[in-house]
């Protein structure tokens, strides 16, 4: 059931296959290194996309105990559960079958109560692992349109809008390939501020403060928040829009966390990881992005550079966070970063030769040649698979 690039239902068997496929890839790609790779991880936003991949990679690659936090809806008589509900269920089943230690918490990650429950779950997992109650890896991968401030009770809603001036852009219906010109009015100051409140760094800072108060941080703790920048032709709606303003606030917060907690020896470091453009439940509804990503997929697959969520995250762990020289917690500066201190997992996407070919395809695409020019089929397949549909091994 797809309306305006939004899928309204999900399939439990397909979601389970999605999880199993990522587990299989992880087990071939990562291996535990005693004393170097994480033993206890917390994933805030664990049920879909990069957050789900981050949990799978830590658990099935490094045999780490995982505490996962998400807010999902179970099925009712009239409606399926959300994809994340079935992803969590499948993860739990697979983890239990592999004798892994896991705690899956469902509720509002913005609330003080969930932060407290997560701390208790981390201590419980550590006790089962017979290790010190210290979290080695914290991943922040929340994607929510609404946030209730835990202190004031005020509800903030985010918007996807440009800033400064209205724009129009070409986007594509991923199901039938038709083009549309989308007009977007500029955001008001209140809308900008509300989006920063929901998607910025305030909640992340509260998480780290809460975990520190619970004495769950250590000199081995690595802290990661995910972001996206993209090429200049997407900036009007993304980097220079309300989302970009919120992500700038998130980056500023991560730098402040890094300075505050590393100086006191409480963590190894805090980084922003700039990830590749991929098909997620949210990216499909951002104007311009589906067309850009469809062209990008075509180019990167032809150049043998394409990655999905699990390929991207296993590379983050293997080649950045836990590569041989960066595993020593006393030398976190050996984690490869750019001039702004960011981990660049979008390095292949942003290569000059890749972007030149993407622009060429975006300029050449028409409704008549879209299937030949772009990888709209691949975009559609990934979009459906994220909801448990279109997976060959499932007898629907």
Residues taking part in catalysis: 238
CA-to-CA distance for 214 and 134, rounded, in angstroms? 10
Q: Residue 2 forms beta bridges with which residues?
A: 7
Cα-Cα-Cα-Cα dihedral sign, residues 286, 290, 295, 297: positive
Instruction: Judge residue 378's burial from the number of C-beta atoms within 10 Å of its C-beta, 0-12 exposed, 13-18 middle, 19 or more buried.
Output: middle
DSSP 305-361: ----HHHHHHHHIIIIITSGGG--TT-GGGS---TTS-EETTTTTT-HHHHHHHHHH
Token pair of 185, please? 């009015």
Helix (H, G, I), strand (E, B) or coil at 208: helix
Token pair of 359, please? 């622009």
Buried b or exposed e, range 127-160, using 16+ CB within 10 angstroms: eebeeebbbbbbbbbbbbeebeeeeeeeebebbb
Residues 6+ apart with CB under 8 A from 141: 43, 44, 45, 46, 49, 50, 51, 54, 225, 226
């Amino acid at each position: 059931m797809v309306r305006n690039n939004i899928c309204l239902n999900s399939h439990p068997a397909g979601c389970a296959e999605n999880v199993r496929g990522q587990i299989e890839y992880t087990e071939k790609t990562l291996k535990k290194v005693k004393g170097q790779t994480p033993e206890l991880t917390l994933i805030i936003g664990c049920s879909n996309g990069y957050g789900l991949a981050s949990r799978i990679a830590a658990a099935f690659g490094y045999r780490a105990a995982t505490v996962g936090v998400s807010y999902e809806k179970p099925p009712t008589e009239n409606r399926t559960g959300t994809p994340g509900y079935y992803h969590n269920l499948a993860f739990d089943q697979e983890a239990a079958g592999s004798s892994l230690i896991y705690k899956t918490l469902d509720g509002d990650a913005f609330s003080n109560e969930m932060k407290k429950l997560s701390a208790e779950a981390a201590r419980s997992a550590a006790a089962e692992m017979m290790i010190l109650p210290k979290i080695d890896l914290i991943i922040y991968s929340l994607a929510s349109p609404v946030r209730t401030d835990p202190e004031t009770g005020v509800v903030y809603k985010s918007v996807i809008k440009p800033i400064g001036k209205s724009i129009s852009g070409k986007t594509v219906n991923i199901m039938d390939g038709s083009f549309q010109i989308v007009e977007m009015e500029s955001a008001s100051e209140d809308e900008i501020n509300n989006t920063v409140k929901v998607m910025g760094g305030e909640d992340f800072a509260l998480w780290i403060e809460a975990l520190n108060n619970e004495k769950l941080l250590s000199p081995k703790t690595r802290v990661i928040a995910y972001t996206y920048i993209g090429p200049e032709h997407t900036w009007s709606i993304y980097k220079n829009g309300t989302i970009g303003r919120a992500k700038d606030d998130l980056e500023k917060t991560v730098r402040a966390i890094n300075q505050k907690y590393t100086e006191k020896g409480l963590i190894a470091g805090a980084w922003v990881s700039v990830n590749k453009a991929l098909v997620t439940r949210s990216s499909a509804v951002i104007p311009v992005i589906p067309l850009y990503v469809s062209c990008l997929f075509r180019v990167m697959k032809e150049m043998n550079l394409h990655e999905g969520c699990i390929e991207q995250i296993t590379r983050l762990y293997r080649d950045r966070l836990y590569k041989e020289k960066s595993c020593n917690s006393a030398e976190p500066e050996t984690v490869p970063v750019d001039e702004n201190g960011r981990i660049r997992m979008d390095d292949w996407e942003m290569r000059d030769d890749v972007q030149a070919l993407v622009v060429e395809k975006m300029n050449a695409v028409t409704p008549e040649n879209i299937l030949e020019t772009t990888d709209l089929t691949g975009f559609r397949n990934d979009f459906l698979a994220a909801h448990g549909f279109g997976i060959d091994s499932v007898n629907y």
